Amino acid sequence: MADGSPRTAGELGEFALVDAIAARFAQGPKVRIGPGDDAAVVEVSTGAVVASVDLVLQDRHFRLDWSSAADIGHKAAARSMSDVNAMGGVTTGLLVGLGCPPDVEASWLLDLADGIAEEAGLVGASVVGGDVSTAKTIVMSMSAFGECEHGVVRRSGARVGDVVAMAGRQGWAAGGFAVLGRGFRSPRLVVEAHRRPQPPYLAGPEAARSGATAMIDVSDGLLQDLGHLATAGGVGIDVARSRFEVPEPIQAVGAALGVDPMHLVLTGGDDYCLVATFPAAATLPQAWRQIGTVVEPGGPAPVTVDGEPYPEPGGHQHFR
């Protein structure tokens, strides 16, 4: 740079880079010890910590030509905080491991940190520490931990007769991925959904408070993740197409690409909506809408659509 200040991660060096990134992260009232020590200390009022970890890899979970650094930061934080949300909890802290080539622009890394901090701020969480290293491509390990004020909701509690409900958007990120993969940048709303998902962070604790019997976030595909609930609970799940309203942007993607828009809704991932089961007599919280029912096991498939097995894979699987 013209003023001679460091421009890349390599020029800045490990310790100066860590200091610059840490300065991006404000510390919330529950943080006793934040960045700068061997480990962080965060208060937990409920007596139990809910923890999750996610890997975020360049060219697997994001592409540099599709997303800005801030977009990637938002998405990386959302992925981990959504797992805590799916347990009925709220994230209080994040730990971030970062590997990158030494020639990555320092300004890019600071924009990444800003994106992480902004997403964490949506639930009042703090980035309390992490680690950096050199790597051939950009890779992050994002650990989230939090607490469940209204009790933990697991995957395994669904019972026959429960209703299946969903909170948040579904199929939007899959639509964005589909059009970006074809070299397009519109509809803009679905492209933005791929870049920055919008998990329904209030809906997880709300479901726990309302007596949800099982819950999961949709990261790999609606039908596939519902399959985890069915398997864990030893039940079947039937989804009704008539319960879904397919938004116009997803319909536009389907028309443009010759794809059934309901396929995007039923099998798409990366929106991080929540699906949960509730007792039939329960009043669904405001953010939730019924999409199906829990049925007896032993049907034609663990998860069916209008009583029939879905003819295609229900979502993404690594190594498949």
pLDDT at residue 1 in the model: 46
Interior angle at CA 42, CA 36 and CA 44, nearest 5: 175
Residue 147 has a pLDDT of 95
Instruction: Copy the structure tokens of residue 140.
Output: 């992050």
d(CA 268, CA 172): 8
Q: Is the dihedral of CA 86, 92, 97, 103 positive or negative?
A: positive
In a domain? residue 23: yes
pLDDT at 313: 66
Q: Do residues 113 and 223 share a domain?
A: no
CA distance 310 to 303: 8
Tell me: do 208 and 82 sit in the same domain: no
Residues 128 and 261 in one domain: no
CA 45, CA 1: separation in Å to the nearest integer? 48
CATH number at residue 66: 3.30.1330.10
Total tally of structural domains belonging to the chain: 2
Cα 320 to Cα 306: distance, rounded to the nearest angstrom: 27
CA distances in angstroms from 235 to 187, 277, 303, 312, 314, listed in the order given: 38, 11, 9, 21, 17
Q: Is residue 232 part of a domain?
A: yes
**Are 131 and 228 part of one and the same domain?**
no
Q: Residue 172 is part of a domain; what is its CATH number?
A: 3.90.650.10
Determine if residue 161 is left, alpha or beta; phi over 0 gives left, psi from -120 to 50 gives alpha, anything else beta. Answer: left
Structural domain ending residue among the three candidates 147, 181, 211:
147
Question: Residue 3's pLDDT band (boundaries 50, 70, 90)?
Answer: low
Enter the tokens of residue 222: 């609606």
Domain range holding 98?
9-147
User: In the predicted model, is pLDDT for residue 318 greater than 70?
Assistant: no
Token code pair at residue 264: 């995007």
Q: What is the pLDDT of residues 107-148, one digit of tens each?
A: 999 999 999 999 999 999 999 999 999 999 999 999 999 999
pLDDT at 317 over 60: no
pTM: 0.91
Calculate the average pLDDT of the chain: 93
Residue 124 to residues 25, 153, 248: CA-CA distances in angstroms? 12, 21, 33
Tens-digit pLDDT profile for residues 187-211: 999 999 999 999 999 999 999 999 9
